[in-house]
A and B are shown apart, each in its own frame.
Chain A
Amino acid sequence: MSGKYHIDVEPEPARFAPVSKLNHIELNRCLGCLQCARRDCIYDVFTDRKFLPRELVDSANRLCKACMRCVQECRNRILIKALNPEYLELGNAYWTPEIITSLWNQAATGKIPVSGAGYEGPFSGEGFDDMWTDMSEIVRPTRDGIHGREYINTAIDIGRKPGRLHFKDGQLLDELPPIVSSPLPILLDLPPAARRWSAVKQAVLHAARQLKLLVFDDAPQSPDEHVFARYAPETDVGPDCPHRLFEFCLESAEPEIVRRLAARIRTLSRRRPDAIIGVAVPLEPRTQEAVLHFVDQGISVLRVYADRNGREFSKSYPRFIKEAVRAIHLALVQTGRRDCVTLLAGGGIAMAEHVAKLIACGADGAVMDEALLAALECRICRQCAAECPVALESMDAAWGAQRITNLLGAWHSQLIEVLGAMGLREIRRLRGEIGRVMFFKDLEKECFAPIFGKRKD
């Protein structure tokens, strides 16, 4: 086992005032009694208050912790805290305002989100929200309390693992296939629209280097051990390709295209035994066939990708990424091929828990994309082509790298929290381990169906 993996986080404040949940409103009859400033607000919102001319907002919006004490104590009842409509409009139904602002906070502080007073969210939901992770009270000797947590291993290997090893006189006879390790089960990628901003690219690359992670990049010129080079399927990549780690990224799982590409890679990989050559396939109903075919042809790294909200590309009943991945994982297991391949998946990975849940559904690792932009204050408005409201084009790369590092630091700690509670010491052991998770459907059937009959939907 490798040594302890540690991410150095450092506070890195936002450049723009984050969109706050509440707006601070004052009716104009202030008595000047300073009750609010001197006594009520224990968070010094009034004493530290400024008007931010660039964004035209009151710092009280962002600093306020919504305890409502000033509202309830104001001597002339002129203070109001009201929901900020701009907050409610952040993101979309999948990338909710709560998720986006939490990503901003994690990127600013590097700390895992902690709060008091119990859980406040919906009972369950779509996508990743219809499952819970398990834990056990007692009889879990793998746990060492908080002292053991630091030794929970979050590393994964990318590449082919040999089925069995052959020895003679203590000497290994087999040629070991190439493999790369990533200390986190997370690979970094930028959504296509953001790839044109060089500072953003630099920030991601810089963070990847520091954290020893892999980052996808479109047909880069020079080799870099942290870069997973990406080519369009028709690109003419020969055996002299400078990269050791590259993939061909398909835009469709059409069987004919799949067959042609698989044959090409087969030839190529015979001439490049040192390289790890992968394929990316969009998630569609026929993706499973494509994956099985690629695996049969000896391709050892497969990345499947969903849309930005984690949905399959399909007009009718698009499945969510975790269901699609689970089906592929099971097909690989049933045909005895699961260990021949590293299965990566991305699209809609917005929270640390999504990484753990995706892995429990059968992926080896997750690809993080839009969340990286959120670390850079992106508002997920998806207007990148027009005008970025947080001016990502003129961002400072070093600032961005620290924000991304902070977010990954927070995610790393959160993965350790859930793994710890599950009693797992290695994230590799979580892969496809649905014994450590519970699904909404199953619990409803087991616990409610005997009482209430049949579910209506």
Chain B
Amino acid sequence: MNQIQTMPSRFRNPIGKFTVHRAENCAQCGKCAAVCPHGVHAKGGDKMLRPRSHLCAGLACARAADGCVLQCPARALSVEINPVFQALGDYRWTGDLILSTWHQAATGQLPYMEMENDCGASGGGLDRIRILLPEKTSGISPDQVDLRLNLNRRGDGRPEVVIDLPIYGGGMSFGSISQNTMAARARNAEAWNTFTCTGEGGYPEALYPYDRHVITQVATGLFGVREETIQRVRMVEFKYAQGAKPGLGGHLLGDKVTAAVARMRESVAGNALFSPFPFHSVYSIEDHKKHVDWIKHVNPRALVSAKVSTPADVEMVAVGSYYAGAHVIHLDGSYGGTGAAPEIAKKNIAMPIDYAINKTHRFLAQEGIREKIVLIASGGLRTVHDIFKAIALGADGVVIGTAEIVALECLRCKNCESGRGCSRGIASTDPELAALFTADWAFQRLYNLYASFAAQLRGLLAACGLTRVTELTGRTDLLTHLDYQREQK
């Protein structure tokens, strides 16, 4: 049986937000070890050990009368923000969010340390939206909340595929990430009865045991796509574009095309691989329909998802996809993405997902087809608050990618595109680097993160008086934006 298990950092020195310093004048009395509730201080023999700073709760505790700093008779202790922490993160994924995700992956719980776990610091969109929790308790217990989501609402005779929580893993190709990372994601998808996606790099054999929880991606390069890989799965995703580089194709550097990657993609090792943009066979909705029909013909049981990015007319694209026969329309906003992309594209092309969700939701409703299609959002969703906000804005569910990678101790150094890839072994196919962690470790970290996400989401829904996540879709009344003044009703 899968369950939360502590799965600490694989590195010798964990990074914490605070540094606890013990000065020379320490009397070795052990008082600090007695007062600290988090085990920062400990004695080894008759000497105090070096403080385990990453466990420290923070400056408020340090200032509290019963905290170690004031309790120390020698006044030998001080607590500060860790300079390494200050060098971590960016506007989207702040140092707080990175450490918070690491903590959840390690423990399955939100951190007890002083940190912002819910929002980033981008200064707009989701980061300025807040959830309005009712003051009265609803009387609903989080255990009663149903997080299930049915991915087929067309009533077209194809199977209803129900996932146990409204979250699945985004496409990351073999080649861009290691096989261990892929296998761990698939095992986690099975554990939570949801999906993960192959990305555009073929279907490694390591995924075969998890066929029921894998989405085969068909992208413009058609790398590794065969009838057989389409027939294996319950859902096939067309990647028309990706948020990180909308309007541009994919690019896998030659260094990352190892022999194994090349075999999977039916290409030559060491040669850079490009996937074009767009599908050269698709210049209209009619062409798109032909594509969808092709998949439906090859696999008569499969659901079809269309992954698109967010141009100004994103709602028209969504409607088009519905009429072309897609079961799921997946909007991938511009700020996510795990692979390498030109910075000019990441920053500028297409609109932020924060805008696209509600725009599309409303338009689909006006067209009278909202109930028939599943709307999935992705692209820069980091926390449960983001997920809640995306669904309240009008999505049915979300796809996460970067958060999973961060759970495996990615710190967003952004070197994934270079040379051998990731020095932490996540986004790398270099055999030595990819062996930096085991699939078991990675699986448990992902499992813990999902457990924390599911528990938080249940808690928020229960607090809002909702018993099903499907009731949250479009409930914009549960949100407020800090820069707006809602009209008095």
Note all chain A residues with C-beta closer than 8 A to B311.
Answer: 134-137
Chain B residue with Cβ nearest A419: B247
* Cβ–Cβ contact A132 & B350, under 8 A: yes
B65: Cβ under 8 A from any A Cβ: no
Residue of A nearest to B347 (CB): A119
Apart from the given pairs A75-B12, A116-B339, 4 other A-B contacts in the complex at a CB distance below 8 Å: A119-B380, A132-B350, A133-B348, A456-B484
- B288 and A138 within 8 A (CB): yes
**A69 CA to B410 CA, complexed, in Å:** 11
Are A417 and B312 CB-contacts (below 8 A) given A65-B413, A119-B92? no
Q: Is the CB of B349 within 8 A of A133?
A: yes
Q: Given contacts A123-B123, A137-B240, A138-B282, is CB(A117)–CB(B402) below 8 Å? A: yes
Name the residue on A nearest B436 (C-beta). Answer: A69
Contact between B417 and A116 (Cβ–Cβ < 8 Å)? yes
B290 to chain A: closest CB distance in Å?
Answer: 12
Closest to B10 in A: A72
Pick the contact of A121: B278, B347, B359, B433 (CB < 8 A).
Answer: B347
**Which residues of chain B are near A455, meaning CB under 8 Å?**
483-485
- Across the interface, B83 reaches (CB within 8 A) one of A65, A82, A135, namely A82
Partner of B13, one of A73, A145, A438, A457: A73
Residue A241 at the B interface, CB < 8 A?
no
| Contact status B285-A138, CB under 8 Å | yes
Q: Which of the segments A107-115, A180-188, A303-311, A375-383 contacts the partner chain?
A: A107-115
Q: Please tell me if A175 contacts chain B, counting CB pairs below 8 Å.
A: no
Residues of A within 8 A of B351 (CB): 132, 134, 438, 443
Q: Is B412 an interface residue (CB 8 A)?
A: yes
Q: Report the separation of the CA atoms of residues A136 and B314 in the bound assembly, to the nearest whole angstrom.
A: 8
Q: Are B348 and A132 in contact (CB under 8 A)?
A: yes
Chain B residues with CB below 8 A from A42, complex form: 419-420, 423, 433
Q: Which residues of A from 400 to 437 have beta carbons under 8 Å from B?
A: 414, 417-418, 420-423
| Residue B440 at the chain A interface, CB threshold 8 Å | no
Task: Please give the distance in Å from A199's CB to the nearest CB on chain B.
Answer: 31
Q: How far is the CA of A125 from the CA of B348 in the complex (A)?
A: 12
Query: Whole-angstrom distance from the CB of B343 to the nearest CB of chain A?
Result: 4
Total number of A residues with any Cβ neighbor in B under 8 Å: 76
Given contacts A81-B87, A137-B308, A453-B486, contact A353 B347 (CB under 8 A): yes
Report chain A residues within 8 Å CB of B350.
132, 134-135
Query: Would you call B431 an interface residue if the criterion is a C-beta within 8 Å of the partner chain's C-beta atoms?
Result: no
**The one of B308, B336, B342, B481 that contacts A118, using a Cβ cutoff of 8 Å:** B336
Do the beta carbons of B485 and A115 come within 8 Å of each other? Answer: no
Most buried by B among A143, A145, A443: A145
Q: A140 at interface (Cβ–Cβ under 8 A)?
A: yes
Query: By the criterion CB–CB under 8 Å, are A121 and B90 in contact?
Result: yes
Q: State whether B345 touches A417 (Cβ < 8 A).
A: yes
Query: Which of A69, A114, A446, A449 has the most C-beta atoms of chain B within 10 angstroms of its own C-beta?
Result: A114
Query: Which of A68, A113, A457 has the most chain B CB within a 10 Å cutoff?
Result: A68
- Give the contacting residue for B284; candidates A120, A132, A138, A452; CB below 8 A: A138
A124 to B352, CA, bound (A): 10
Judge if A53 is at the interface, Cβ distance under 8 Å.
no
Decide if A276 is an interface residue (CB 8 Å cutoff).
Answer: no
- Is A454 part of the binding interface, using a Cβ–Cβ cutoff of 8 Å? yes
- Chain B contacts of A67 at CB under 8 A? 411, 413, 415, 422-424
Query: A185 CA to B393 CA in the complex, in Å?
Result: 41
A451 near B358: Cβ-Cβ < 8 Å: yes
Residues of chain A at the chain B interface (Cβ within 8 Å): 21-22, 40-43, 65-69, 71-75, 77, 80-83, 102, 112-125, 132-141, 143-147, 351-353, 414, 417-418, 420-423, 438, 440, 443, 446-457
| Top 3 A-B residue pairs of the complex, sorted by shortest distance between their CB atoms | A421-B247, A123-B124, A145-B276
Task: Write out the residue numbers on chain B whose beta carbons fall within 8 Å of the beta carbon of A138.
Answer: 240, 278-279, 282-285, 287-288, 317, 320
Among A74, A115, A140, A420, max chain B CB count under 10 A is at A115
Q: How many chain B residues touch the partner (CB < 8 A)?
A: 103
CB distance from B42 to the nearest CB of A (A): 16
B residues near A82, Cβ cutoff 8 Å:
83-84, 86-87
Is B135 an interface residue, CB under 8 A from the partner? no
**A38 vs chain B, min Cβ distance (A):** 13
Provide the B398-412 mask, 1 if CB < 8 A to any CB of A, else 0. Answer: 000010010000111
Let me know if B76 is at the binding interface, CB within 8 A: no
Q: Is the CB of A123 within 8 A of B352?
A: yes
Kindly identify which residue among B128, B283, B419 contacts A140, using a CB–CB cutoff of 8 Å.
B283
A454, closest chain B residue (CB):
B485
- B344 CB contacts on chain A under 8 angstroms: 112-113, 351-353, 414, 417-418
Residue pairs across A and B with Cβ atoms less than 8 A apart, 16 shown, are A21-B87, A68-B88, A72-B11, A82-B84, A113-B343, A113-B344, A116-B340, A117-B402, A120-B414, A122-B91, A137-B240, A414-B344, A420-B247, A420-B248, A421-B247, A455-B484
Measured CA separation A319–B354 after assembly (Å): 27
Nearest B-chain residue to A448, judged by Cβ: B481
Chain A neighbourhood of B362, CB < 8 A: 450
Min Cβ gap A361→B in Å is: 14
Q: Determine if B335 is an interface residue (Cβ-Cβ < 8 Å).
A: yes
Residue B416 interfacial (CB < 8 Å) = yes
Residues of B within 8 A of A (CB): 9, 11-15, 50, 83-84, 86-88, 90-93, 122-125, 127-128, 220, 240-241, 244, 246-249, 274, 276-280, 282-285, 287-288, 308-309, 311-313, 317, 320, 334-352, 354-356, 358-359, 362, 380, 393, 402, 405, 410-420, 422-424, 427, 433, 476, 479-481, 483-487
Bound complex: CA A114 to CA B433 (Å): 22
Q: How far is the CA of A449 from the CA of B362 in the complex (A)?
A: 13
Let me know if B358 and A137 touch, CB within 8 A: no
Selected from B127, B341, B484, the residue in CB contact (under 8 A) with A453 is B484
In the bound complex, do residue B15 and residue A146 qualify as a contact, i.e. CB atoms below 8 Å apart? Answer: no
When chains A and B are docked, how far (Å) is the Cα of A136 from the Cα of B350? 8
CB neighbours of A453 from chain B (8 A): 484-487
Q: A422 — nearest CB in chain B belongs to which residue?
A: B247
In the complex, which residues of chain A have a beta carbon less than 8 angstroms from the beta carbon of B358?
A: 447, 450-451
Closest to B406 in A: A117
Residues of chain A with a CB closer than 8 A to B125's CB: 123
Chain B residues lying within 8 Å of A422, measured Cβ to Cβ, are: 247
The answer on a CB contact under 8 Å between B413 and A421 is: no
- A386 to B247 alpha-carbon distance, docked (Å): 47
Q: Name the residue of chain A whose CB is nearest to the CB of B276.
A: A145
Closest to B128 in A: A123
Contact partner of A74 (CB less than 8 A), chosen from B13, B317, B338, is B13
Q: Is B247's CB under 8 angstroms from A135's CB?
A: yes
* A118 x B335 contact (CB < 8 A): yes
Bound together, the chains give a CA A422 to CA B288 distance in angstroms of 20
**Chain A residues, Cβ within 8 Å of B336:** 118
Contact of A139 among B50, B285, B415 (CB under 8 A): B285
In the complex, A133→B340 CA distance in Å?
A: 20
Inter-chain contact B313/A136, CB cutoff 8 Å: yes
Q: Which residues from B are CB-within-8-Å of A115?
A: 340-341, 343, 346, 414-417
- Contacts A42-B420, A418-B348 given; indicate if A120 touches B12 (C-beta within 8 A): no
Contact partners of B84 in chain A: CB under 8 A: 68, 71, 80-82
Q: A453 CA to B483 CA in the complex, in Å?
A: 10
A37 CB, nearest partner CB in chain B, Å:
14
Complex contacts, B410 vs chain A, CB 8 Å: 117
Please indicate the chain B residues that have their CB under 8 angstroms from the CB of A423 in the complex: 247
Residue contact B340 to A22, C-beta cutoff 8 Å: no
Closest-CB distance, B294 to chain A (whole angstroms) = 16
Q: Which residues of chain A are within 8 angstroms of B122 by Cβ–Cβ distance?
A: 121-123
For the complex formed, measure the closest distance between the CB of A419 and the CB atoms of chain B, giving whole angstroms.
10
Q: How far is the CB of A457 from chain B (nearest CB, A)?
A: 7
